Structure 1
Amino acid sequence: MTETKVAAPVAPPEVKAKHRAMWALGDYPAVAADVIPSLGPVAVEATRIGPGDHVLDVAAGSGNASIPAARTGASVVASDLTPELLDAGRVLAAAEGVDLAWEVGDAEALPYDDATYDAILSVVGVMFAPFHQAAADELVRVCRPRGRIGLVSWTPGGFIGQMFATMKPYAPPPPAGAQPPPLWGDEQHVRSLLGDRVTDVVAHKQQLRVDAFATAEEFRDYFKAAYGPTIAVYKAIADDPAKVAALDEALVDLGRRHDLGGGAMEWEYLLFTARRA
Structure 2
Amino acid sequence: MTSTTGTPADADRALKARHRSMWASGDYPKLAADLLPELGDVLVRACGVTGGHRVLDIAAGSGNVAITAARTGASVVASDLTPELFDAGRALAAAEGVELEWREADAEALPFADGEFDVVLSAIGVMFAPHHQAAADELVRVCKPGGRIGIISWTPEGFIGQLFATMKPYAPPPPPGASPPPLWGREDHVLGLLGDRVTDVTTERRTLTVDHFDRPEDFRDYFKDVYGPTIAVYRSLAEEPERAADLDAALLDLARRFDRGHGSTVLDWEYLLLTATKRREQVPSPR
Q: TM-score, normalised by structure 2?
A: 0.92
Partner amino acid, structure 1, of 2:271:
Y
**Contact 1:203 1:272 (8 Å CA) reproduced:** yes
The 5 A counterparts of 1:15-164 are: 15-164=15-164
Matched residues in 2 for 1:205 and 1:144: separation?
A: 26
**Contact 1:76 1:100 (8 Å CA) reproduced:** yes
Partner amino acid, structure 2, of 1:82:
T
What SS does the corresponding residue of 1:38 show, helix, strand or coil?
A: helix
Matched residues in 2 for 1:52 and 1:70: separation?
A: 10
Matched residues in 2 for 1:172 and 1:265: separation?
A: 27
Matched residues in 2 for 1:243 and 1:98: separation?
A: 46
**Contact 1:11 1:131 (8 Å CA) reproduced:** no
Q: TM-score, normalised by structure 1?
A: 0.96
RMSD: 1.1
Partner amino acid, structure 2, of 1:80:
D
How many angstroms does 1:197 deviate by?
0.2
CA offsets per residue over residues 127-186 of structure 1, 9 Å max, x none?
000000000000000000010000000000000000000000011111101000000000
How many angstroms does 1:38 deviate by?
0.6
* Alignment: residue pair count: 269
How many angstroms does 1:11 deviate by?
7.1
Matched residues in 2 for 1:41 and 1:61: separation?
A: 15
How many angstroms does 1:40 deviate by?
1.1
How many angstroms does 1:96 deviate by?
1.2
What SS does the corresponding residue of 2:196 show, helix, strand or coil?
A: helix
Match of 2:199?
Answer: 199
The partner residue of 1:267 within 262, 266, 269 is 269
Structure 2, unmatched stretches of 5+, are 1-8, 280-287
Match of 1:248?
Answer: 248
What SS does the corresponding residue of 1:65 show, helix, strand or coil?
A: helix
Matched residues in 2 for 1:85 and 1:10: separation?
A: 24
Match of 1:235?
Answer: 235
Distance 1:18 1:11, change over 3 A: same
CA offsets per residue over residues 71-122 of structure 1, 9 Å max, x none?
0111000000001111211111111111000110000000000000000000
CA offsets per residue over residues 37-56 of structure 1, 9 Å max, x none?
11111000001101100000
Matched residues in 2 for 1:39 and 1:109: separation?
A: 25
How many angstroms does 1:10 deviate by?
11
Partner amino acid, structure 2, of 1:263:
T
Match of 1:210?
Answer: 210
Partner amino acid, structure 2, of 1:127:
M
Matched residues in 1 for 2:145 and 2:87: separation?
A: 32
Partner amino acid, structure 2, of 1:247:
L
Distance 1:160 1:20, change over 3 A: same
What SS does the corresponding residue of 2:245 show, helix, strand or coil?
A: helix
Which is worse superposed, 94-103 or 151-160? 94-103
Structure 1, unmatched stretches of 5+, are 1-8
Matched residues in 1 for 2:49 and 2:230: separation?
A: 32
Match of 1:276?
Answer: 278
Partner amino acid, structure 1, of 2:104:
V
